[in-house]
Structure 1
Amino acid sequence: MAVEGAMKCVKYLMFIFNFLFWVSGIALIVIGILVQTKLNGTLHITSVTASGAPIVIIIVGVVINFVAFFGCCGAWKENYCMVTTFAVLLILIFIVEIAAAIAGYIFKDQIREVFEKSFNDTMANYNKTGNAVNIDELQKQFRCCGSTSYRDWLTILNNTVPDSCCKNETQNCGKTPTPNKVYEEGCVNVINTWLKNNIVIVAGVALGIALFQLLGIIFACVLMKGIRSGYEVM
């Protein structure tokens, strides 16, 4: 009876785990859509790696929902095959995440290069439809101007800068740019610093998700053993 009680507890813990896992999948899909919208709405992204990152996030979210379905159904119906499928898929996701983390560390220096190229391309096409609004929003948000400094705009806009570069934005304030009137620091440095400051948070969340997944794998393996041994867990 003690063993049956333990298996019943594992069953419900796994069911709760999969519900939370499903919620995290929905969250990833939403984040991926928001990031994709932000990238396409802010910069002219030419790198497949950069533009594909949010798509990967969305795909992972969809896969997580698919895996959570197997976990919930397998736990509820005590189906050995479904629980095994859940465990295998969760292990594969865990391995992919580890590989992605390693790849992210290896290619972290290329992120700045990709962003700088994308920002410069957007600046060069500033007067084209949509680009002005997009880059203006970014400069306002991060309180920066140009790629490396506000002087980057002078050759593009005939010795003027966008009004979004002004510390106190008013109409045509960018026509007479001076260091005391506009943001001097370039957006590439500002956003690169912002990314570095927030990477610790991202790493912490990623570690938490990985540990959460390991817990799910353990629950699945224990439940698989219980089902295969023929114990009733209801």
Structure 2
Amino acid sequence: MVVMKMKFPFQKRVKLAQGLWLLSWCATVAGATTFTLGCLLKTELRRRAEVMDNTDIHIVPNTLMIVGLASLGINYFASKICQDALDAGRFPRWKNFLKPYFAVSCFFTVLMLLAVIMSYAMKGSLESSLKAGLRNGIRFYKDTDTPGRCFQKQNIDRLQMEFQCCGNNDFRDWFEVQWISNRYLDFSSKEVKDRIKSNVDGRYLVDGVPFSCCNPRSPRPCIQYRLTNNSAHYNYDYQTEELNIYLRGCREALVNYYMGLMNTIGAGVLSVFLLQASVLVSLRFLQTAMEAVAGKENTEIETEGYLLEKGVKETMMEYLNPVLTFLLLKNQVQEGEETTPGPATT
């Protein structure tokens, strides 16, 4: 059953080819934009690599860069096909090329749609990655003399100041780790000895936070230590002093930032997907309309174009059958090699 059959007089075919040529170049620019957006997202993710525990989230920018580059090639050939479509003598040379071209184009167009879906669906993976990465970043904050962690303190401090956040979940995360290096502790002090002895792991824990947690909008000088001790500070109640330090955790701040960025990119790539799909649909109509002209002297006759010559299921199987046959033959060859007996020994 033919899907979406339409009649195309000569003038309509010419207008379709001209409009499609312009549309294909617009899609080429959109493909370059998609590649650029993928690079931008990749760069932003790599900037915070020290507070991310895995690289699964990079599948989104990697996919965007791949489909962006593929879109450049797909639409370049689409523009060339449109130019030759105006010449019935030159168009037949694309006949053997168009079937694999449409298969590859549809694959990358679907991949573009998957990239859009992933950009909205990666919140869970992003959150778990940041949770583990920030936990390790806070834990190694004091290791400024350890190779590979020398800039951990600097990175965490910049992160907290830039995103106006404190800790992983909140500022209390700093209470659970020793974030002051031993080289800056006076071990002859009774207070330091008592704090270390009071801890099972022998760590120096304080109810304080680094300076980067301080909120510059606070009307009073920042209180970094004894945050939960109201009697240690004059006119102080830690439950109401909201401006003293940042109360929002850095995981929440980073998730909101990256999801906002990916959702914005996803919306842009979705519009590129629709543009790319329009190019492929229009090109398919142009191809089928021009096939009826091939080999005829009168090229100005009315022809019919269609989207699919058969139903959707039959068309999909037509493209999948060669692949399935190849995989089946490959498996049979491997099984034959495994069951072939070795040379007899005496």
TM-score (norm 2): 0.56
Question: 2:226, 2:44 → 1: CA distance?
Answer: 28
Q: Which residue of 2 aligns with 1:51?
A: 58
Q: Distance between the aligned counterparts of 1:56 and 1:32, measured in 2?
A: 8
- What do residues 94-146 of structure 1 show as CA deviations (whole Å, max 9, x unaligned)? 32244445566666433311222223233334442444444444333332111
- Mapping for residues 156-167 of structure 1, pairs under 5 Å: 156-158=178-180, 159=206, 160-167=208-215
Q: Which amino acid aligns with 1:72?
A: S
Corresponding residue SS for 2:216: coil
Q: Does the CA-based 8 Å contact 1:143-1:183 persist in structure 2?
A: yes
Residue number in structure 2 paired with 1:111: 126
Distance 1:152-1:215 versus aligned 2 partners, 3 A rule: same
Q: Which residue of 2 aligns with 1:144?
A: 165
Of 73, 79, 86, the residue aligned with 1:72 is: 79
Q: C-alpha distance in 2, partners of 1:89/1:38?
A: 30
Q: Do the aligned residues in 1 keep the contact of 2:35 with 2:69 (CA within 8 Å)? A: yes
Number of the residue aligned with 1:39: 45
Structure 2: gaps of 5 or more residues: 1-7, 86-90, 181-205, 228-241, 301-346
Corresponding residue SS for 2:247: coil
1:135-214 superposed matches below 5 A: 135-154=156-175, 155-158=177-180, 159=206, 160-168=208-216, 175-176=224-225, 178=227, 180-194=243-257, 201=264, 204-214=267-277
Q: Which amino acid in structure 1 is aligned with residue 57 of structure 2?
A: A
Match of residue 3 from structure 2: none
The one-letter code of the counterpart of 1:219 is: S
> Take 1:37 and 1:202, find their aligned partners in 2: how far apart are those partners?
14
Q: In the alignment, which residue of structure 2 is the partner of 1:26?
A: 32
Q: Distance in 2 between matches of 1:23 and 1:156?
A: 52
Greater shift after overlay, 94-103 or 214-223? 94-103
The structural deviation recorded for 1:74 is 1.6
Residues 36-93 of structure 1: CA distance to partner in whole angstroms, max 9, x if unpaired?
A: 2222222323423123432222122111112112112221223434555553333212
The answer on whether the counterparts of 1:83 and 1:220 sit within 8 Å (CA) in structure 2 is no
Which stretch of structure 1 is more off in the superposition, 105-114 or 70-79?
105-114
CA distance in 2, matches of 1:143, 1:129: 23
SS of 2:42's partner is helix
Map of 1:75-86 to 2, 5 A cutoff? Answer: 75-78=82-85, 79=91, 80-81=94-95, 84-86=99-101
Greater Rg by CA: 2
SS in 2 for 1:180: coil
Q: How does 1:123-134 map to 2 (within 5 A)?
A: 123-126=138-141, 127=144, 128-134=149-155
Task: Give unmatched runs, 5+ long, in structure 1.
Answer: none
Shift of 1:202: 5.1
With over 3 angstroms needed to count, the CA separation of the structure-2 counterparts of 1:135 and 1:17, relative to structure 1, is: farther
Q: Tell me, yes or no, if the aligned pair for 2:120 and 2:263 is still in contact at 8 Å.
A: no
Give 2:102's match in structure 1, choosing from 79, 87, 90. Answer: 87
In structure 1, C-alpha distance between the alignment counterparts of 2:99 and 2:42, rounded to whole Å: 34
1:227 to 290, 309, 314: 290
- Residues 51 and 131 (structure 1 numbering): CA distance in 2 closer, same or farther, change over 3 Å? farther
Q: Counterpart amino acid of 1:166?
A: C
Q: In angstroms, what is the RMSD of aligned CA positions?
A: 3.4
How many percent of aligned residue pairs carry the same amino acid? 18
Do 1:84 and 1:220's aligned partners in 2 also have CA atoms closer than 8 Å? no
Tell me whether 82-91 or 218-227 shows the greater mean CA deviation: 82-91
